[in-house]
Structure 1
């Protein structure tokens, strides 16, 4: 593994830990601190569907996630981590409540790393049949 690949993996692991922390607590500042100023993210559905650009947009998105789920989302299993010199993908399962309904899903999140920051995030998911 190259030095650059090792750094990418380290930074992405930090971001993944901070993502889990935000989901569990609603506290997103540690995650936001890891983002570049020109951060972009892609989300597959809802009011943030498609490409979104900027840390302010990311802050609004993460707050929206906390509104939808509260602090109920828990990672149930980390299935796979795939990485190269600039990108790390985490595949996992999570569950909780979406409003008053049970939620259970398979998720893949992709972090692009520049230096010691996350410059891009993409999320993909497919229901395990328990969410609406």
Structure 2
């Protein structure tokens, strides 16, 4: 039986158990846990968590400002991108994955879509970092957006080689 994941709760500033046995087993079933952490130590700036946080800070800034270039600069040329719906739905790998996330980011930047997300927790799993967000629309084009999201990034050196975003099967809406 799997153990719960230890996570840092940004609301209370303390470590807590997260997801429990069922979700940890579900993530393992998806192949997200249990893989060897052959790149678990990133060079230069202090490790996987710091590189992932730097990438996600740029990701958040992209949503707030529409300027995705700093985030895109942190991606490896061969990239794994998973998105749950719309034009970019599914899994995109390698150079096609890099192109897909760049198109996705530029679409949101030029269309005026703005989202404000609050990180609720963060868990490091070898070379992957899982972020839990509560997000809301922050522009007229996203006014009805209200979502809980889980984003997993994979770190390779000083860059990220994957971004997989998960949420429900129905597009989120606000009240």
Q: Same fold (TM over 0.5)?
A: yes
TM-superposed deviation, 1:98? 7.0
Cα RMSD (Å) of the superposition?
2.3
The superposition leaves residues 28-87 of structure 1 with CA deviations (integer Å, 9 ceiling, x where unpaired) of 11011100010120001100001123333221111123355x253112x32110112200
Q: Report the counterpart of residue 115 of structure 2 in structure 1.
A: 73
Higher strand residue share: 1
2:164 counterpart residue number: 122
Report the CA distance between 1:101 and its aligned residue.
Answer: 4.5
**1:107 alignment counterpart:** 149
After TM superposition, list the pairs within 5 Å mapping 1:1-132 onto structure 2: 4=41, 7-53=47-93, 54=95, 55-67=98-110, 70-75=112-117, 77-96=118-137, 97=139, 99=141, 101-126=143-168, 129-130=173-174
- Where relative contact order (Cα < 8 A, 6+ residues apart) is larger, the structure is 1
Kindly tell me the number of residue pairs found equivalent between the two proteins: 127
For residue 118 of structure 1, give the secondary structure of its aligned residue in structure 2: strand
**Which runs of structure 1 show a deviation greater than 6 angstroms over 4 or more consecutive aligned residues?**
none
Instruction: Name stretches of at least 5 consecutive residues in structure 2 with no aligned partner.
Output: 1-39
Structure 1 unaligned runs (5+)? none
